Each structure stands twice: as structure tokens, then as C-alpha cells.
Structure 1
């Protein structure tokens, strides 16, 4: 068939699909046909803005909001005091700068709402999705190569669409529990370009927006979702990362814990997944999941201690020694691996196909 016949066939097909209430979407080298009636609601009801809880990690009781005017906001007896005037809530003008005196100062796009909440101030940033993603991609991918930034933009957008209203009073927090968000501080020219050029593109699992994950460093092989969290999910599988993330400072790591400071006396690895992660561990005779043990240790001693569930243990008379690989849960896209692939001239769609082989790209808005 010649080019003219192919073009005519494509036009006839497109008109047929539109007439039959089907959505026709084209990506480079990919056609995505989705029935509007069965496309999940999270893909059809996407707001223009999201509400993000900011700076909650500081448990603020006193903040300063700067813009056209400056407002000192202090929490007193579950009522906020704004420049000496008692109020139940506060709304800023556009693009305010928020300062926690002596701690941190950041500028945010959109507006900020402040409410009393359980003995501290709840600060909500209402921000356009594109601006939010620009900040997230900059914070999560840093100065990584452009194709890695595009891959991050698509994964972060997919996470956003799938997880709207993740918290009771807002959509997302600004920490790794959701996605790292730092307002204008983390925006870059590349992150803005990556978000704009991938506008509306997400990953699908079947005809639904996919559950996606990403992490800093896999250590050579990503994790299988079923082995980490015992979830019945066949879309997030373990893949070999070859040498892509070897440049990460967390590809290999070591940490030692003094026996006298350890919250246990005996520890034994019982079971590993095929990807190397510890799935079952025995601590003083009691068994627990590997990821639960890792989180418990990290919360007690810091997140830079037991960096992943892929570790080995040895002991002498003074210390428990942990030797491990990777940083984070290991699921989905390895960010250092994405950088490595991009540095070897891989495109964003190739990066995503590598880390999410069971998912497909689609432009949903």
C-alpha cells in the first residue's frame, strides 16, 4: 500500500472511531485506541489544579507569607492569628513566598491556604498541574539528561492522575510518600520543557491509568511488586538494569550497627526474592517482612542507613554489618538507571518500555 492509500485509510479509520465514540490518540510510533465508555474515571475527570500540603514535615506553628504584602501567621489555641487579627483561615495572593522563621523559605506558584489542624498549621498550595509537575520533575530528576526528565514527567503525571485525593484534606504531600515537591525552587528549564512536551501522556495498564512506582537506585535489578508488598499485581515486574545505574553512589553501600545499640540480639535472613530483596527475616525469633524491617530500622536510625531491602548481614563481637545494593523500594523506574539509559541515547519511550514492559503509553488529555 502506498503512502497516499495509507493516509486515506488512517483518515477513514479515525472518522469511524470518532463516530463510534472512541478516542484516537497518536504518539511517536504508537497508536492508542481507547473506548471512552470504558476508560477509567481517573483519566476523564482530571482537574486543572491540585492541592498539595507543603512544609508539613516541620509541624509549623508560625509562618510568614510574603507577596504584595507580608503576613505573620501564628497558631494560638487552634485559631490563626494573622498580623494580630484572629482568623479561622488564610488565603494568599498568587505566587507567595512562605518562610518558617529560622528553618526554610520557599516560593510557590498558585495560591496558599492556611488552616489550623491538630495543634499545627496546615499549609495547602493550590497549584496548576503543569506547574506542580515541573517542580516535581526538577526535584526528583535533578540535572539528569533530557530524555530521563521526559520519562520522569510521564511517570509523575501517571502517579498524579492515579492518586488524586490521596490524603483526606488534600491531594498530595510534598514528601517521598507522594512525590517530592519544592515549589519554584526545584523548577528547571529542562523540567518545564519535559512536562510541556509530554503533556497529557500517561502509562496505562489495559484501559486504566496504571499504578506506577519509581525509586532512586535499583542496584542492578528492579523489584517485583508481589515480592515486596504481597500484592496481586502482574504489571510491575522485576527487570535487569544491566549497568545503567552503576554511576549511582548507592549502587553498593555498607552500614554497620553497634551490637550494644541494636534493638535486637539475633537476626537471620529467611527468604529472598529472585531479584535479591529480603522478603522474610527473623529478628529475635520473630519473623517479619523484609520491607517492614527496613522501614523500622530507617525510622529509628535514619533513612541513610538501611537503604533498601537488598542486603546481606554479617556479625562480629562489636557490630552487625549490612552490605547492600540500591536506594529505595526498587519498584518500577530506577531514576539513576533512567539517567544511564538517556546518557546512552535511549529515548523516553524506550526507558519506560524497559522499566514498565507490561504497560503502554497513551495521551489522555
Structure 2
């Protein structure tokens, strides 16, 4: 909870208490992936547009200032200063440390014994001599250990180290095609059909290249914690994902919102129907509760075979009123929480903004993301839900939230794509189904349909 809501003072006190009881290494309480050596070692690299991805970003997509990391290449690596050129060579499987030096305000590159081999106050690049080799980033340290997922990551491409006023930032400069299998790996745990994986790879590729075009003047295009791009390292990939990425390179979406989300209900936000078995009432704000309380159709494309997994489509939470009140207080003190009212909805009932009324005033969360954080500290699955406040006297004691599907409902539904694939549809058909108005570029012929 503290990692989702780091300003929560009550949780901070509990962390301090547990630190005294169990020792001062709070980082040991967290579920971080730790790797001693590179797992992949070697992976073919496909020349393609470069993607600059900032590593170790927080919930607001801000890359964290790191204090130290270790790195280990699976092949010979070079360290290059932007003005001095190559300054150091690192042999295979040799650990090096990069440490922020507060005395100089720069960054020191050290060997395993702590001896400084290179120092810099300007960006420098760690590159692999052979591009099919990999680079393992280990033991990332930040001032706030809850600010981002500080797990070890294995990378392809270059690592750019950017000194900052209080530490340094990491940017992975990598071929788009080399990144796609790892992005697939972090999102498709329950997606198994090759056609569904290939369709998702098309969406990721299209979104990556669009981000590269739109953000080309920025020091990085995406972060490893973007909503659409969760990157946990190429160490998670396997052959099925490599095959899906290679096969899907034949087409690319243009002029489309190339988003994705995990589970879909009866109707997506862009009016794509995931069932032929329509209920007898229209999908509208007035009828949202009927959808939330009724059984999903038997022929729903995203229907899970395992009945215990229905919570991916229909879900329910109870949130504590005081915690909601405390999160509002970060923005404005409205006193005791007394009412919660959606103020803006999409035509089919998705919540875009919410007003919170209190004993001392009111506050409006004007985006779905802010509304989700205030209500749930970031655990809300989608913006299609209704709210049932439970009172103690005049004040809200807790809030029951009943919801449907995941994400914002735009783009590719992953479970729906898997369902269509099981019915025999290929990845191009799945793309056309979820993006019926998109222009599709044939990357082999250059033609657009």
C-alpha cells in the first residue's frame, strides 16, 4: 500500500515500526526480482527505429533519481563519454558499480573493490560491442525505496547514464523490435493463443513507433512504468513471444488509438461488441448497475474457462472513507467526507470525473486517473463502476465500488483477442475487429488499407 500511496502518514509510521522490529533494511520486505548473472546472455537484434525508455519510473511516470546501481554485461561493453569518446572497456560477466557522489555532484564508475575508474558530470553511454549480447542492471538504489519497482532488469541496446542534481537517471536506447517481446511478457500471463499474442504485438509496435514520433525531441519517449508499456526486462521473454513479435511485423496500425487493456465486458468504450447475446436494455449511464449486477453473457469473447477468474470482468471493492478523505487532503482539506458524486460520464457510463463533498468544502477529481487514486490509491481496475457510500451518521464510513472490465475500454482487449483466436480468427482479423476504422499499413508493400 505504501508503494502506491507514499504520502500516507499512517502507513509510513507502520513501516518505521516494522523497521525497528525486523531491522533497518526495509528494502528486504519488498518483492524485488534479484539476478546474479544475465539469464538470456544472447538474443538476435533486429535493426529498427530506436526507442528511448527511461527506467525505474514511479506512478506518475517520473524516472527516479538513483543513488547507485551495479551492471554486468554478457559480452564486452564500452563506456563512452559524449566528449571524450571511449573511456573504458568492461569484460564479460564483470560487475561494475555506478554511484552518485554527493561531494562532487557527479557520478563515479567503480570496480568491485570500490576503486573509481571513471567520473562524470555529463551523460555517458554503456554499449555492447556485439548487439546480440545483453546488459544486466542490478541492485538499483533510490532515496525512497517505495518510489518505483527497483527490481533487476536485463536489457538489450545501450544504457545512457544521465547525472542529475541529486543522483542519476537511466535511459535504455533500444531497437523497437528488440523491446516488443519483453513488453508482451509483462502483460500476457494468461494469454496463450499465438494469434492473440501477434495481435497484441501489432498494437505495441504501433504505440511504440507513435510515441517515438511524438516524443522525438524529449530525452526519453516512454518509461518502463507507462500504462501501455510495462517493462520488467528481457529476462522474462520466451520463444512464443519472439515468434509472435516476428510474425506480427507484417502490419502496423496508423491513425488509431493503439491502446490495450486486459479484460472486456459486453461493450467497449469505442462501441465494439464482445458478444452476440445482447441483453434487452442498452448500455448507458442509467443502466450501468444492471450490467454490474447481471451475469455476463455466455458467449462473451473474454469469458474465462476457469470460473474463479470472473473477477477479471466483474469486480467489487470496499474502500475506507477515512483513507479516501486523507488522499483528498493532499490536494485540499474538505473536512469529513459526506458525499461522492460522478460529475462527468461517457455516453455508456464510464466515469470521467468525480466530486467529493465534505463538511468544509468540496474537491473535484477531473480525470479518471486522479479519481481512481483518490478512491483506491491506484487499485481501481477500470473507470466503469458505480459507487455505494455507506454512512455512519452524516459521514461516509466506507465506499462500496462495483465495477466492470479493466482499463478505459479503448483499443485491444487481451482476453477478448484470446477468445476470438480460439474461435479461429487470425491476428489480422483480430486487429480489424477491435480497430474497425483504423488504417493498416502493410510494412512489406507499403500499402495502406
**TM (normalized to structure 1)?**
0.74
Indicate which of 106, 116, 129 corresponds to 2:163.
Answer: 116
For residue 387 of structure 2, what is the aligned residue in structure 1?
313
Distance of 1:259 and 1:200 partners within structure 2: 51
CA distance in 1, matches of 2:152, 2:365: 41
Contact 2:261 2:414 in 1 (8 A): yes
Aligned counterpart, 1:303: 378
1:158 pairs with one of 206, 212, 220: 206
Match of residue 229 from structure 1: none
Cα distance in 2, alignment partners of residues 273 and 170 from structure 1: 32
Determine helix, strand or coil for the equivalent of 1:51. strand
1:331 corresponds to: 410
Give the alignment's Cα RMSD to 1 decimal: 2.5
1:209-358 to structure 2, matched below 5 A, reads 210-223=256-269, 237-242=270-275, 243-247=300-304, 249-263=311-325, 264-270=337-343, 272-284=345-357, 288-289=365-366, 291-297=368-374, 301-304=376-379, 306-317=380-391, 318-358=397-437
- Between stretches 149-158 and 182-191, larger displacement belongs to 182-191
* Aligned 8 A contact 1:90 1:114 in 2: yes
Contact between 2:261 and 2:412, CA under 8 Å: does it hold in 1? yes
* TM-score under structure 2 length normalisation: 0.61
Matches within 5 A, 1:113-152: 113-142=160-189, 144=191, 145-152=193-200
Q: Structure 1 295/260 Cα, relative in aligned 2: closer, same or farther at 3 Å?
A: closer
Aligned residue pairs: how many? 300
- Point out where structure 1 has 5 or more consecutive residues left out of the alignment: 1-45, 224-236
Partner residue in 2 for 1:66: 72
Q: Confirm or deny: 8 A CA contact 1:141 1:152 kept in the other structure.
A: no
Instruction: Give 3-state SS (helix, strand or coil) of 1:80's partner.
Output: strand
- State the Cα deviation string for residues 145-184 of structure 1 (Å, max 9, x = none): 1111110111111111211153720222111345112231
Q: CA deviation at 1:201?
A: 1.6
Aligned counterparts, 1:163-242, within 5 A? 163-164=211-212, 166=215, 168-205=218-255, 210-223=256-269, 237-242=270-275
The runs of 5 or more residues in structure 2 that have no matched partner are: 1-46, 59-63, 74-91, 111-115, 129-133, 142-149, 276-299, 326-336, 392-396, 445-449
- Report the CA distance shift for 1:292/1:199 in structure 2 as closer, same or farther (over 3 A): closer
2:53 matched to which residue of 1?
A: 52
SS at match of 1:163: helix
SS in structure 1 at match of 2:220: coil
Alpha-carbon distance in 1 for matches of 2:52, 2:230: 14
